[in-house]
Amino acid sequence: MAFAQKLVCRECGTEYPLGPHYVCEECFGPLEVHYDYDKLRQTLGASEIARRPSTLWRYRELLPVGDAPPVDMGAGFTPLVRAENLGRRLGLRNLYLKNDAANPTHSFKDRAVSVAVTMARQFDFEAAACPSTGNLANSLAAHAAKASIPAYIFIPRGLERAKILSTAVYGPTVVEVDGTYDDVNRLCTELADEFRWAFVNVNLRPYYSEGAKTLAFEVVEQLGWRAPDHVIVPIASGNLLVKIDKGLDELRRVGLLDGGPVTRVHGAQPAGCAPVADAFRRGADDVKPVRPDTIVKSLAIGNPADGIYALQTVRSTGGVVETVTDEEVVESIRLLAETEGLFTETAGGVTTGVLRRLAEAGAFRPDETVVAYITGMGLKTPEAVDGVLKAPVRIPATVRAFEEKVLGRVAVS
């Protein structure tokens, strides 16, 4: 049974049938999927969900895919790790990390992409495509391979080598565009008018963006159907942050979450690309585009599509948007690795850095439940820590050399 009912304009409320539409014909506002929440309240229960496979498809009634078989690579239901060591450092007794590096292509993008590619198949698109800062490229290339449809992946100049390799390996057409992500995005919006292709984060954006809600569903389920007091979310386009909040709201609407206190949603941006943080500090309602200059390439979107909605979400929940410098990103990647054994990419360094800043500023009470979303994995951006880590101690293959050079003992005989 399908529970997704219609697309609704976020700005003016005009309604559209579920189809491959993405902007409102009345006001050019973005469209969002709406569900039959009353019917879901009667049919969807926690014990039923608990019996289902450990993937994001366990919440399929709250995704727009209907009854069609999904393109399933096993995305979702990633570990929610209790971070006791990092928590001790930061004075937090209930700190958790949502480790989304554990997804099939090692970032949270697998959630959005598996939903979008499932819809691309339903709408009979000839090919899948996207503009990407790297992780979406990896994920779409893999899912298109799995769905046996051709993929066209558009990336800006200068992405990390590992992100390009781990896209190209799946055999898509990779197009490196001279320019920033914002140039690539503009080009893809023009191409989407010319070709009958599913540009997953452009003309399928209403569907693609729904996948990110599962990051809220899972955290609530993993906490025993309880909402966290605070979440820290990295911002590039702003979609992830907005949809985590939508996910929490939907759980309340369908009765899977009691009223309880509102979760404060905090945003994290690198100082070298912080248009949403800048608007937050100015107390403004508009997000002014910036030209990115940061090592955090996955978050380098200077003109974020959902920037104003991210800003509204943060403000309405009592959160903040905070930034960290590139140096703090590197320090924070190391802090997370050394305390929790978790190697994250630069975006996770931003999240961890902002978590630390907020903890040090007293934004959390020690017993509050705080969840930091670690959205991508460190092996994709090794250059961030290259040169700042201890080099291996090189020795000949003898016990004596080991004792002298590694343990610093002087040999007796």
Ligand X SMILES: Cc1ncc(COP(=O)(O)O)c(C=O)c1O
Residues that bind Zn ion (CB under 5 A): 9, 11-12, 14, 24, 26-27, 29
Contact flag: residue 107 with ligand X (CB under 6 A): yes
Q: How far is the CB of 209 from ligand X (least distance, A)?
A: 8
328 binds, options Zn ion, ligand X, none, Cβ within 5 to 8 A by partner type = none
Can you tell me which of 73, 235, 274, 276 binds ligand X, judged by CB under 6 A?
235
Q: Residue ranges of the alpha helices (H) in 235-274?
A: 239-253
Site string for ligand X, 24-53 (x = CB under 6 A): ------------------------------
29 binds, options ligand X, Zn ion, none, Cβ within 5 to 8 A by partner type = Zn ion
Give the 3-state secondary structure of residue 254: coil
The token pair that represents 262 in the structure block: 């509102």
Give the 3-state secondary structure of residue 324: strand
Can you tell me which of 206, 211, 376, 378 binds ligand X, judged by CB under 6 A?
376
Measured from the CB atom, is 202 or 240 closer to ligand X? 240
Measured from the CB atom, is 120 or 137 closer to ligand X? 137
> Residue 262: exposed, middle, or buried by beta-carbon count in 10 A (0-12, 13-18, 19+)?
middle
Q: How many CB atoms lie within 10 A of CB 411?
A: 9
Residue nearest to ligand X (CB): 376
| Alpha carbon distance 60, 35 (integer Å) | 12
Stretch that binds ligand X, among 50-58, 230-238, 316-324, 362-370 (CB under 6 A): 230-238
* Element at 89 (helix H, strand E): helix 84-90
Contact flag: residue 381 with ligand X (CB under 6 A): no
Contact flag: residue 238 with ligand X (CB under 6 A): yes
Contact flag: residue 200 with ligand X (CB under 6 A): no
Measured from the CB atom, is 14 or 85 closer to Zn ion? 14
In sequence order, the 6+-apart residues with CB closer than 8 A to the CB of 44 are 61, 62, 254, 256
In sequence order, the 6+-apart residues with CB closer than 8 A to the CB of 69 are none
Per-residue DSSP letter, 158: T
Buried/exposed code over 168-191 (b: 16+ C-beta within 10 A; e: otherwise): eebebebeebeebbbbbbeebbeb
- Reference 126, options 191, 193, 196; nearest CA is 196
Residue 342 Rama label (left phi>0; alpha psi -120 to 50; beta): beta
Contact flag: residue 117 with ligand X (CB under 6 A): no
| Alpha carbon distance 65, 278 (integer Å) | 36
Measured from the CB atom, is 83 or 268 closer to ligand X? 268
Can you tell me which of 94, 138, 313, 375 binds ligand X, judged by CB under 6 A?
375
Can you tell me which of 298, 303, 313, 369 binds ligand X, judged by CB under 6 A?
298
Q: How far is the CB of 132 from ligand X (least distance, A)?
A: 7
68 binds, options Zn ion, ligand X, none, Cβ within 5 to 8 A by partner type = none
15 binds, options ligand X, Zn ion, none, Cβ within 5 to 8 A by partner type = none
Can you tell me which of 240, 276, 321, 337 binds ligand X, judged by CB under 6 A?
240
Maximum CA pair distance of the chain?
88
9 binds, options Zn ion, ligand X, none, Cβ within 5 to 8 A by partner type = Zn ion
| Alpha carbon distance 382, 238 (integer Å) | 25
Q: How far is the CB of 130 from ligand X (least distance, A)?
A: 10
Binding stretches for ligand X (CB under 6 A) = 107, 133, 135-136, 234-240, 298-299, 345, 347, 375-376
